Amino acid sequence: MNQLNARVETILHTVGSSSDPLMAIEMAYQRIEREPHRNCWIHVRRREEAREECRRLMARARAGENLPLLGIPFGVKDNIDVQGMPTTAACPTFSYMPPRSAKSVERLIAAGAICLGKTNLDQFATGLSGARSPYGSCASVADARYISGGSSSGSAVAVAAGHVAFALGTDTGGSGRIPAGFNEVVGIKPTIGLVSSRGLVPNCPTIDCVSIFCNTVRDGEAILDVIEGFDPEDPYSRPATPFTAAGPGNAFRFGRIASADIECFGMSECAELYERACRRFSRLGGKAVEIDFAPFKQAGELMFTGPWVAERRSVIATLTDVENGGLLDVTKTVLRSASSYSAMDTFAAIHLLYRLRRATQNLFADLDALVVPTAPRPFTLDDMHSDPVTLNNRLGYYSYFANLLDLCAIAIPNAKLPNGMPMGVTLLAPAWRDRELIGLARRLEPNGGGAAFELRSGTPESES
């Protein structure tokens, strides 16, 4: 654990504390209580209960027990079980008390971290906006007019607002990356099966994964060290396949989208921020290689205009009554579309996906990573509420394909639009290259993990 201890030396400072765990807990609660308007929490643990757990952990540490995450406060997306706290998946009628915590949570608690509560999300993790919850919409910490991104909205906002040092989310089609981009934090989406999904309310079980929100890639690496590992209790867990390449040296090759193919849905400044990221990466030793984005786009279209929405409905239907179980209208609308797909459609889509996987594998053969915008552009909450399906689907343009193509991904901050909204970029690589991707992301995150750059020139286009 010595390497892990070295990695977590600075995590407590991200919540503004000294090395005193009790002070970290106290400051976290002060911030949570001061900012209820952020709607990022569904359930918050009693302060004295958390303080008492911290005291017990400190006593164990004094007795010589190795607790590498001692006293570090964290949040958990409310579709991941935490014993003693209700799981709602942002659907109050679905609420239950789990008999045990999810495997990832168990591992964090065993390492000394302290869970402060359950964070808000798009209902049943169906959405990328952060605006689909009966517990309130989550806005970006940068500008309350704009969406936070989802579905792991509360987890990203809780980290960005300094309520906790890190938070767990989930990622099926971008939920661990989109809200990181709009809140200027780091989002780590591991290879599917690297982290156990036992204790996760399923969405699309074949492509679900637990994700990490944190302030720096270094922090995220420390958390991944704790929660990764094969879990025989999870049928979707996979033994890691070692990737033996040395990883990128000072020189590396990264795939990029051709300028003519960048899609920003009417906000051209977002394309400029992506271009700036590519130029910066080139200055840091990277060689940009334009790739054919078509197979990635095709794979992404399968997520919600293909039969994987049927997997989502089949799972949720085993958990609650889709029509009369207290679901939001927009959740019902998405799930109802599943009825239009047949078994033949499903197999045709699976066959197409295998062809697309092979095509993208060939593209990655000569690349250390693919770099894409984390999201095409931000949308206001008002616009998202007015057109919740179309705009939500646009958000996933650069994220929907990742799990279908069996990729790992890390979203890092990049720059700010003239209106102050953060826009991130995401690095992607084939399954099991997580560590190599983390190493590259640590080199490329702005200011060594500090504040993102700001684009000061120009004026924003219409926000509609």
List residues with catalytic annotation: 77, 151, 175
Phi, psi for residue 37 in degrees, rounded to 5: -65, -15
* Separation CA 11–CA 72 (nearest Å): 8
Cβ atoms of residues 199 and 98 within 8 Å: yes
Write the DSSP symbol of residue 452.
P
Distant-in-sequence, close-in-space partners of 86: CB < 8 Å, separation ≥ 6: 43, 95, 96, 97, 118
275-278: long-range contacts, CB 8 A cutoff, minimum separation 24: 276/414, 276/415, 276/453, 276/455, 277/371, 277/414, 277/415, 277/425, 278/254, 278/371
Write the DSSP symbol of residue 92.
G
Cβ atoms of residues 131 and 149 within 8 Å: no
User: What count of residues does the chain have?
Assistant: 464
Look at phi and psi of residue 241 and say left if phi exceeds 0, alpha if psi is from -120 to 50, else beta: beta
* Separation CA 25–CA 54 (nearest Å): 8
* Separation CA 269–CA 391 (nearest Å): 18
Selection from 328, 442, 383, 427 nearest residue 93 by Cα: 328
